[in-house]
Amino acid sequence: MLISVSATTFSETHHFEQVRQQGTPLVFFDRMPELPQSMAVILDDFQGAYQAVRHLIEQGCTRIAHLAGPQHLNTSRNRFLGYKAALEAHGLPFDEQWVYALPALTHDAGRLGMQHLLAQIPPLDAVFAAYAIPTVGALEVLREKSKRVPQDIALACFSNEPFTTMIQPQLTVVDQRAEQMGETAVRLFLQLLKRGPSYVPPHLVLKPELIIRESSLHRSQEARPLKS
């Protein structure tokens, strides 16, 4: 079985363990549970988030909010930690009021999140979102409030979905390398079938790529490359 844990799956893993004990090979990809000796192909979500937030700081942003996914998911948790680490590494304080926990990974949830963040004082100047679909909802709210992107508020998010280049402005994204992840998971799965259930390879962690587009560029003339 090739498995990516759903957003609504919480900490229960006994059903996975029961399947594995029956001799069925399991290979997780992208999202994975806390299951000992599990095989998985994942992205370095921490580093991807760090790179995205670092880029926003380079553009002159200093009040960077986060639309966070469910923290029981490894992807969401590591993206939040990368966001927080980037702020702290570049001398910006972490403030919980700038983090909105998305109730779902949907367009409407992104709208709610942005409405909440716009009410914060002092006003935000950038948003890093853990997922792409809520970012579209957030962008809609910014347009309704006559906020210019990126001049007033810059945006960056995870995943390089096709629609991220079809909207205006095009979204700066962290590429999840979905195709490479799928191919690698299948290769791992075939190795497992060939070598048997006793074969337990290490987790394979793919490197993210930050794709910079219009939604995050040119915050101000103070934009600068960072040394670390």
Gap between the Cα atoms of 132 and 15, Å rounded:
30
Q: How much is the average pLDDT of 10-38? A: 78
More confident residue, 24 or 205: 205
Average pLDDT over residues 63-80: 93
Least confident of 23-32, 78-87, 114-123: 23-32
Whether the predicted model's global pTM rises above the 0.75 cut:
yes
Residue 30 CA to residue 226 CA, distance in Å, equals 30
- Across the range 178-202, mean pLDDT stands at 80
How far from 225 is each of 21, 58, 60, 212, 228, CA to CA, in Å? 51, 5, 10, 14, 9
pLDDT exceeds 50 at position 132: yes
In degrees and rounded to multiples of 5, residue 7 shows phi and psi of -65, -20
Least confident segment among 91-105, 133-147, 186-200: 186-200
In this prediction, residue 223 has a pLDDT band, given cuts at 50, 70 and 90, of very low
Number of C-beta neighbours around residue 205 at 10 A: 14
**Residue 222 pLDDT greater than 50, yes or no:** no
Please provide the average confidence, as pLDDT, over all residues in the chain.
88
Cα separation values, 58 from 83, 150, 197, Å = 14, 13, 47
- Please determine, for residue 18, whether its predicted confidence score (pLDDT) is greater than 90: no
- C-alpha 201/C-alpha 188 separation (Å) is 8
Chain-centroid distance of CA 40 in Å reads 18
Q: What percent of the chain has pLDDT over 90?
A: 61
**Which pLDDT band, with edges at 50, 70 and 90, does 32 fall under?**
confident
Alpha-carbon distance 45 to 78, whole Å?
Answer: 6
Question: What is the pLDDT at residue 81?
Answer: 98
Report whether pLDDT(25) > 80. Answer: no
Q: Order of strands, edge to edge, in the sheet holding 204-206?
A: 2-3, 27-29, 39-43, 204-206
Residue 116: predicted pLDDT: 96
Q: What are the angstrom distances between the C-alpha of 170 and each of 27, 86, 135, 227?
A: 34, 23, 11, 27
> What's the chain's length in residues?
228
Across the range 45-61, mean pLDDT stands at: 97
Mean pLDDT of 171-196: 88
